[in-house]
Structure 1
């Protein structure tokens, strides 16, 4: 494969500069927490946000991959928070020799929103198991650079490696901000003896409901309803008033988030289509499939899917000729996450964060196929149809449906 010379996230390739902000709405776990990516005005010297925004996410990642928190978390934190490169962290892991890279997302933090004569279509993005809102920044930033608003949710169903909400402690302070207390929601595995499906199925329903609530929130913001962001005032959500095209809304996700996107499409009529990146179909109940009547694009990697999972995708494609299944050759499950760009060669060999296909080439295929699909089903007037051949599995490193031999989990 082509070497990855530097460990950094790619910039969006579209015509728009990209900004992002974090939004938390509500003072309990039934609220919403997400990172919003959006087209923004150019800004010299703009601050770029950290890829891992809080120390606690390092705890969560350590727990998720079953590493010892006592030594794993401090080195992860030093690496990502101080942006000194993966070398220090993974040399201690004995997984990687010295490498350097930037661990900030190449977008403008709280950059000025770029209003335009027309409204922006909306994508609601659902992360995978053990991830959080920033792990798909490369995909989300690319979509925003192409003229989408992207709401990257952080789910509160115990499937994120860690997340939190802010609650008000009565009597603590006269100031609401000073009275806010964080409550963290850790990653949770199925209990011993508990069937995995019976644990994951309620989670995927909670996740899909959060996607629907995310859409409802954007509807409120678009019509000018005052929405309080718990975090800060640096980005004014009222700037989005009348700037969201709520007739052009899609739901997208990776792995567990791919299954979430399929379920959300069935739950909410305003979602016009779904893009499912290497979807983990296992948590979806059989009764769901007849209810998914709108098109889905399944973009699979070569080394993750099972025969059973692909068969479930084919149940949907057999019902709707506009539902497409393609596979990117030389890719692995993490190829559709930011980890594929931020892991060095030895770490890649241990954790399989990268396949034989250059990760930047793999990202281009993923994004271009998604954009072509979104143009068609959101009825966009863009030039994304130049990549329509990808939807049929035609092109370098892409095939229709699945390889003859799929992996077993």
Structure 2
């Protein structure tokens, strides 16, 4: 049967995490000062509270995210964009996207209490034209296994749109994606963005260290407007001593994949990384200054192309025994498979058409099954890197035998 989003109490929502823990979330901002960048990340975490659908936040936290998704994927000239705004078509596009996806809620308890245990940390970096909620299921699923997951909303003008706040009481402003004219050379822009992104990742880890130590003056929470004032809201002090900072992983999709690679080269605190369908252009000339066995590539077969794979070969590593290689591909998967896009668009006929434009997955394997496979591979690799335990990862590879392809094969081969 075709996959459809589940419904709880009449509300459409993304699938729940498959792990043992209820998941909570908060949106955390940092204050910009001196040489520090202003950050925004959504923190997913194991919660001691019961699942409560009245606390679940919207997948698109503000109408501007819907509008920016459309703009980021369909680049307009300034004149044409002005025309769309003046005629009302621009705002209509965002409304249409919210209608096509049902703008589901994310099954995580906003502002709920963190579990009493300590858990390792994963920082997640998004693709171009995405935001902190683009991978809500993937981040929720990983957190439900027993991890703190910080999903960044990058401030380098690569996000579909970035929410900006300078203090808890300040007004919201917005930073839009920077697009290039068709055919323009993107080397300088991508180099600048990648430098900014890797700084954000390291400073995000610094902020999580501060959170664990109870040093909170540069951090603040913004709760969504949909959360009832009657709900109890935790403060940042609730996380003191709860984050296993000494065990941290970096992961990311597309440009987030090359952000993962560059971060492993620059910040030795990360014990491993997962580059999901990584775009290699920004790191094509990088010196490889880390143990390649720390890194796993999870590629989507339908998106990878010869030039990208030839660059990836430089980072490929043979692994011992049944692990074989640090590069695996999911057969017939598309570039948007790691995101929530494909599953969110499958609730109506027109949405399925839009999903088809983003790439048609294997007809024998639903978009949600693809997403689960990606999540399980990521979790398995995290266990491998943090616990020197390979069985979780290998079990996943065996489970999807026939769909997991090993190593890099360019078209010439």
Give the TM-score normalised by the residue count of structure 2.
0.83
Question: How far is the alpha carbon of 1:76 from its aligned partner?
Answer: 2.8
Contact 1:32 1:214 in 2 (8 A): yes
Check conservation: 2:383, 2:392, Cα contact below 8 A. no
User: Does the CA contact (< 8 Å) of 1:326 and 1:392 recur in 2?
Assistant: no
Does residue 44 of structure 2 align to residue 37 of structure 1?
yes
Indicate conservation of the 8 Å contact 1:340/1:354, yes or no. Answer: no
Mapped partners of 1:71, 1:192: distance in 2 = 23
For the pair 1:111 / 2:112, whether they are aligned, the reply is yes
Whether 1:231 aligns to 2:222 is: yes
Cα separation, partners in 2 of 1:102 and 1:188, compared to 1, 3 Å: closer
Provide the residue aligned with 2:89 in structure 1.
71
Match of 1:339 in 2: 341
Q: 1:287 to 1:44 in 2, by over 3 A?
A: closer
Aligned equivalents of 1:366, 1:213: Cα separation in 2:
27
In structure 2, what is the equivalent of residue 379 of structure 1? 387
Q: 1:305 maps to which residue? A: 304
Distance 1:114 1:353, change over 3 A: farther
Deviation at 1:316, TM superposition (A): 1.5
Distance 2:115 2:53 in 1: 17
- Tell me, yes or no, if the aligned pair for 2:42 and 2:151 is still in contact at 8 Å: yes
Q: Which residue does the alignment assign to 1:97?
A: none
Structure 2 gap ranges (5+):
7-12, 77-83, 224-231, 347-351
1:236-259 alpha-carbon deviations (Å, 9 max, x no partner): 122111111122100000011111
Instruction: Give secondary structure in 2 for the equivalent of 1:336.
Output: coil
- Inter-CA distance 391–43: structure 2 relative to 1 (3 Å threshold): closer
Retained in 2: the 8 A contact 1:26–1:230?
Answer: no
Answer whether contact 1:163 1:186 (CA < 8 A) is retained: yes
* Aligned partners of 2:251 and 2:275 also within 8 Å: yes
CA contact (8 A) 2:293 2:326 kept: no
* 2:124 and 2:250 in contact (8 A); partners too: yes
Counterpart for residue 150 of structure 2: 151
Supply the distance in 2 between the matched residues of 1:350 and 1:306 (Cα, whole angstroms): 18
Separation (CA, whole Å) in 1 of partners of 2:406 and 2:319: 16
What is the aligned partner in structure 1 of residue 313 from structure 2?
314
Change in Cα spacing, 1:298 to 1:182, as seen in structure 2 (3 Å) is same
2:25 to 20, 23, 31: 20
Structure 1 residues 247 and 337: alpha-carbon distance in aligned structure 2, compared to 1, 3 A threshold: same
Aligned length: 375
Partner of 1:277: 276
> 2:56 aligns to what?
48
Compute the RMSD of aligned alpha carbons: 2.7
Given that 2:58 and 2:103 are in contact with CA atoms closer than 8 Å, whether structure 1 keeps it comes out as no
The corresponding residue for 2:401 is 395
Q: Distance in 1 between matches of 2:399 and 2:275?
A: 15
- What is aligned with 2:133? 134
Q: Is the 8 A contact 1:43 1:111 kept in 2?
A: no
Distance 1:212 1:320, change over 3 A: farther
Q: CA deviation at 1:48?
A: 0.8
Residues 190 and 282 in structure 2, CA contact (< 8 A), matched pair in contact too: yes
Question: For 2:24 and 2:263, how far apart are their aligned partners in 1?
Answer: 26
Corresponding position of 2:186: 196
Bigger shift: residues 140-149 or 302-311: 302-311
> 1:184, 1:236 → 2: CA distance?
25
Supply the distance in 2 between the matched residues of 1:250 and 1:161 (Cα, whole angstroms): 24
CA distance in 2, matches of 1:361, 1:284: 31
CA contact (8 A) 1:328 1:398 kept: yes
TM-score, structure 1 length as denominator?
0.83
Q: Which runs of 5+ in 1 are unaligned?
A: 87-99, 169-175
